[in-house]
Each structure stands twice: as C-alpha cells, then as structure tokens.
Amino acid sequence: MKKKWLFHSKGREVLVLGVQAHNSSAYAEAEMRTAWNALELMGANTMEAPIYWDRIEPEEGKFDFSIIDYLLRQARERGKYLILLWFATWKNGNMRYTPLWVKRDRARFHRALNSDGVAVASLSAHCEACREADARAFCAVMEHIRAVDAEQETILAIQVENEPGYAARTPVDYGPDGQRALRERVPEAVLDFIEREGEGSEYEAFVANGRRRDGDWIGTFGKRGYDLCTAYGVATYIDYVAMRGKQVYDRIPMYVNVWLDHQLWDQPGLGYPAGGACTRNLALWKSCTPHIDAICPDVYLQPMNLVTGIYKKYSRPDNPLFIPESGPVISNALNMVRGFAEYGLQGISFFGAESYTTEDETALEERFREGAMNFSFLKAIAPLIIRYSGTDRIHALYQEEFMHEYQLKLKGYECIVSFDSHPEADLKRTRNVWVGWYNKRWQKNMPRGRGIVIEAEDGAIYAAGAGMRITMRLGHDEGAPYSPIVEERNVNWYMVREGRVEDDGSFVTTRVRSGDESDYGVYLTPDSGCVKIRFEEE
C-alpha cells in the first residue's frame, strides 16, 4: 500500500536523491561551494544544509536570515532543491549550536545533570524556558521561509533538531526538571498507543512490569523507564517546536532524524543519545509527536540484514521512510534499491559531500562513485518509483555475495538476471565479458549489480541499474524446458529503448536497441538510464 508522499514542489512529488553538507559548512557562503560542486558530481537533486540557531539569533530577539537567503539563491541558480536542518537545542545529542546567550544563562536555561549532579553539554528536555526560546526562533525561521519560498517551493522539508537526546553518558536528567518528570504518571495516551502496538521494547517492558497504568515511569517500565521518560521529554519538546512552526507556515513537512541504537554498547547516553527515536523508543515517539511528519533513521550500518531491519521498523503506515544521512558506498548502493522497491523509501542522502571530491574538485574519489552510479540510474526511473511505491509491481535487483545470476518472476514475464562483475560470471553461456561491444566504458569494469525493475499495468517493463544483464521471456508453463543458452537470441522483443521517464510518465527515447544490442539480453549500466521493454505492440 502506497503511503502519503512526503516531498512535493509545485504540485509534483519528488524522489529525494540528496547530499548533505558537513556540519559547519553553511556558516559561510564560500564554504558551501565545494558542497554544491560535490552535489553536481554526485548527480544529486537535493542539498541538505544546516541552519544554526546561534547564527540566526546571535542576540535574543534579533534575527539574521542571510544564511537561508544565500542557500536558496545557490539552490535556485543550480535548479536544485533544499532541505534545511535546524541545528538548535540538539545536534548529535548536545547543545553545540545554541546561542551564547542561552549557554551562559544556566539559571534560566537549565542543563541536564548526570547522576553526580554535574551539568552535561545538553539542555534539559524538561525545561520550559529552553523549549520556548527554541520555538520562538523556529517560528521566526518559518515566517521567513514563508516570505521567501512560498511561491517557488525550493525547500522540500525542514529537519527539526539533529539526532536529539542526551549523548552524555546519562540515560536521564538527574536535575530537578528531569527528576520531577520521572515521578510523573505515564500519560494514558502513551500507554494506549503502546498496547495497540502489541510488540517492541516499550511493550515488552510494560508487560514485564504488570501493565500498570497508575505508576510513574520506573513503576510502569522498570529500568527502561529512564530512557523512555527522557524520550517522552525530548519527543514532546520537539513536537511543540514543530507545532509552533506549523502555525506560522505548514506547507513543508517537518521530520526528525535518528542516531540509531544497535551500535557500540547499545546503551542510552553512551551508544546512542538517551531519549532519541531509536528502534527501542520508536513506538513511544509515535505516540506523542502528531506534528512530526516522519521519524527518519540515519543509516550508516552496512550489513543488508541489519539495514533492511531498520527499513522495516521505520516504514510504517504512520511513518514514510526517508534516510537523511548515509554514505555513498557499495553496501548502501545495494541496500537502497531494496529500500525503494520493498519498503517504500522516498529519498536518501549522503552525508559529508565535501569529502567526496578529489583535491582539485573535478571528480569524485573512486570509492564514492558507487553512490553516483545509483543516482544516475535512479533519476531516470524516479517518476515510476514514486508511482509504483508500495505495490507489487516494483522489484529490487541486487547481487548478493558470490551470486552470478538468479531468476525473477514477474506477473507476465520470467527473467534471468546475470551479474557481470562476478569473477565466474562468464560461464560460456552469456556474453558478459563482451559488454565492451555495447558500451566500451564498462568492459571488464562492471560494478556490483543492483537496480530496479517495474512491470507497468500495460505490460511494459522498465529497468534501470548497473552491473547486470536481464534475459526475459513471456511467462512459461511450469515444467516446460527452457535454456537461456538456446532461447536468449530468439526472444521476440517488440521494442527495447534507452531513455528516461518524465514527470508525467511519458518515456523519452535516447537510443533504440536492436540486433546485437538486444539479442543477448538487456544490459543495465549506470549511464544507460531507464530501459523500456515491450513484447507486443503498444
């Protein structure tokens, strides 16, 4: 089932293929040029760029929006989209980007305390003065965005805070604000939501402690109550900031990004920021953030089983899947095609764009080109990914370790998918090593295979990818003999064309394939765009 699409511009749904600038690059307009150059080399359509509370409100009540203005100008000059990242109360679990006037006034803006009573580098999620100051600044930002972008709609979304929580070796605020919150009764709405979930870490802790509905956070959830109390404080704080911002301008979605658990010691405050919207706290976050449009994991994990587990957890009926941070490495190149085809992924961005280029900024470092290959073929088929997201007509192609081919069954067709990069791929029954006569650039240089196949309602097949060759035929009766060695040159193609899919769904042909270029299957290379295949007349 297709979910509500998160990103829009001028009435059009957008598949985000983005890069993110380094944390402090947006402080100066000149520093962003390297990031924009990397975006162009990567073939991305969206820049994620931070905007900073300390830069925008250096003195209380006095605002400077020049950072937003030059980011918009840079994006529009290049015909690209923007996603703005509000670095305010939290950035990676601490308060680095809060203004000095907030940092200095500890009597008014309370810090969280650890168990020894020492202030940590994070504002308390339970301090009303902190929340109000952040919300006022955010409202000013949204008012400016409404004034400068309501018509052009260059900004696709805004991230509220960055990987929030306490990355401070404490699971809870031991100061007066936090201890008062810890003793409060758990809201009924939160418990109702967790019971409806019927699974997950919060539910298991609730059941283990007797399903109590009259207790405080420790009485209701046991030791999990520390992290969950913090999560409730952080979540409701950010939801309040988002609510206030939407009262000013509600035409762009607001999301929260997540520093995931299942890493390092997997302990709140140590392995991930305590109270963050990680997998073990996700249900609680969803119970109390009605003004947050999506909770989005930052995925730097690489093993496919772990990554698809994250995709599954965050792709919910009430939560569209978007990956705001990741890396342009081969593991991510394989994992993301499964995200788009199987989990309704609506966009992905690569963090640290400036680090991807060679010293002279004329090319990408070789190890980062895998991400650019994906963006190259994904943008050629993007409108169909959006259209068929959440249906059974979109399929991921990905080359697992040691794999040189596999079978794919579609509604009306059968496919043999061969991966040219495998050292044993040339079994003398395919023409993998001869890709040079089709596209010399990839001869003996095919990347690890991955891609997308879509079977449209009218029988057309659309395929885009890298490092593979697809041999196809119409669906065949079970038990009938079939050999790709014999039949690959006898496929009755009606049409094989390279090109791209336009926003309205029309196909623009840039090359017609026939003869040798289709007799041995359909090659997919990063620069072949989208290939449209038909077995019968349109």
pLDDT score recorded for residue 446: 75
Q: What is the per-residue pLDDT across 297-316, written as a single tens digit (0 to 9) for each?
A: 999 999 999 999 999 999 99
Quickly count: other Cβ atoms within 10 Å of residue 95's Cβ: 22
Tens of pLDDT along 53-72?
999 999 999 999 999 999 99
CATH number, domain 45-297: 3.20.20.80
The structure's pTM equals: 0.94
Homologous superfamily (CATH) for 395-534 = putative beta-Galactosidase from caulobacter crescentus (2.60.220.20)
Residue 263 has a pLDDT of: 81
The whole-angstrom separation of Cα 328 and Cα 159 is 21
Give the whole-angstrom CA distance, residue 61 versus residue 46: 31
Nearest to 532 by CA among 443, 448, 472: 472
**For position 170, what pLDDT does the model report?**
96
Residue 363: closest CA among 38, 20, 19: 38
Of the candidates 424, 441, 443, the residue with the CA atom closest to the CA atom of residue 433: 443
Domain ranges of the chain: 45-297, 395-534
CB 202 within 8 A of CB 128: no
Q: How many residues does the chain have?
A: 538
pLDDT in tens, the chain (538 residues): 677 999 999 999 999 999 999 999 999 888 899 999 999 999 999 999 999 999 999 999 999 999 999 999 999 999 999 999 999 999 999 999 999 999 999 999 999 999 999 999 999 999 999 999 999 999 999 999 999 999 999 999 999 999 999 999 999 999 999 999 999 999 999 999 999 999 999 999 999 999 999 999 999 999 999 999 999 999 999 999 999 999 999 999 999 999 999 887 889 999 999 999 999 999 999 999 999 999 999 999 999 999 999 999 999 999 999 999 999 999 999 999 999 999 999 999 999 999 999 999 999 999 899 999 999 999 999 999 999 999 999 999 999 988 888 889 998 888 889 887 655 555 444 444 444 445 666 666 778 899 999 999 999 999 999 988 888 877 765 655 555 444 555 566 788 999 999 999 999 999 998 877 787 788 899 999 999 999 875 5
User: Which tokens belong to 287?
Assistant: 């119970």
Beta strands in 198-356 (DSSP E): 254-258, 294-297, 347-351
Report whether 64 contacts 58 (CB < 8 A): yes
